[in-house]
Amino acid sequence: MYSEKVIDHFNNPRNVGDLADANGVGQVGNAKCGDIMKISLRVEGDVIQDIKFKTFGCGAAVATSSMVTEMVKGKTVQEALAVTNKAVAEALGGLPGEKLHCSNLAADAVHAALNDYAEKKGN
Ligand code: FES
């Protein structure tokens, strides 16, 4: 049912937790199931230097959270904003149809954190 990558990221999630010195925090909820994903990140010189996630959700949501942190770490703000939920699901080798909605949180949470960063910065 799940790809090896999904199972790997679920069993060994990368970048779990809260970033103490974050300058951007975003949280989104999945209206379909009520699950929540929180992203905290630190941008320096327009590059995402560090990022962590906390997800109160299903295995697919944990895997997509983990994957998106890996995809945007070290990227510029513009590059990270261009990452879509679909791209995250594809990077995981796809998700079963009934779990596709679970990937709707990952990129959205990163974008929310980047918006928070931009607001704090005064952009
Ligand atoms: Fe809620 Fe997957 S069931 S995110």
**Residue 101 DSSP symbol:** G
Each residue's pLDDT tens digit, 76-91: 999 999 999 999 999 9
Is 58 annotated as catalytic? no
What does the pLDDT average to over 40-66? Answer: 96
Residue 99 lies inside a defined structural domain of this protein: yes
Per-residue pLDDT, 123: 58
Structure-model confidence comparison of residues 31 and 88, the more confident one: 88
Spot the catalytic one: 43, 72, 102, 109: 102
Give the gyration radius of the chain's Cα atoms. Answer: 13
Do 34 and 121 form a contact (C-beta atoms < 8 A)? no
Per-residue pLDDT, 67: 97
Residue 41 lies inside a defined structural domain of this protein: yes
3-state secondary structure of 107: helix
Residue 123 lies inside a defined structural domain of this protein: no
Residue 17: C-alpha distances to residues 22, 94, 99, 117 (Å): 11, 25, 24, 18
Residue 37 lies inside a defined structural domain of this protein: yes
| Closest atom of ligand 1 relative to the 61 alpha carbon | 4
Q: What is the CATH number of the domain that holds 20?
A: 3.90.1010.10
Per-residue pLDDT, 32: 81
Q: Which two tokens stand for residue 23?
A: 């300058």
Task: Look up the pTM and report it.
Answer: 0.94
- As for how many domains the chain has, the answer is 1
Mean pLDDT of the chain: 94
